[in-house]
Amino acid sequence: MFAFLFNIFALAALLIYLYRIRAQVSGLVRFMLQLSTFLMEILFWIILGLVCVATVFLCVLFKIHDWVYALFKFLSELFIFIMELLIGFMNLFVIILIYKLYGIYYGW
């Protein structure tokens, strides 16, 4: 839940910042931001899908007991949490990068 809220706040801060400097930010920086977020989301869903398929496959194939299934479910939830934090930190990194580029361009 924390990672989800962190990601929402990071995206909101990014949108507000981009709105404030929309005239100065080059199209390339905006494109890089959208592309990196898109690729991170694709990576997230691919790995999450692989984790879910592996969990179901192992449980069905080896008739794993409930506690092992619960362990795999916990690990997949932990993975979701970590990936959402990574996406949020990536968005904050891009905000800082845009700010630094904006400062270098205007000599701050």
pLDDT (tens digit, 9 = 90+) per residue, 22-37?
A: 555 566 666 666 666 6
Which CA distances in Å does 35 have to 39, 42, 66, 94?
A: 6, 10, 40, 12
pLDDT in the model for residue 78: 80
Q: Which of 96, 93, 105 is nearest to 36 (CA)?
A: 93
Per residue in 37-52, pLDDT tens? 677 677 777 777 777 7
pLDDT tens digits, one per residue of 74-84: 777 787 777 77
Rounded to whole angstroms, how far apart are CA atoms 15 and 107? 23
In a 13 Å sphere around the CA of 9, the CA atoms on its Cβ side amount to 8
pTM of the predicted model over 0.75: no
Q: Is pLDDT at 93 greater than 60 in this prediction?
A: yes
| Cα maximum dimension of the chain | 64
pLDDT at 53 over 60: yes
Q: How far is CA 94 from CA 59, 60, 68, 87, in A?
A: 40, 42, 39, 11
What are the residue boundaries of the structural domains of the chain, listed by start?
A: 29-103
The pLDDT assigned to 83 comes to 75
Q: Which pLDDT score is estimated for 23?
A: 53
User: Would you place residue 65 in the very low, low, confident or very high pLDDT band (cuts 50, 70, 90)?
Assistant: low
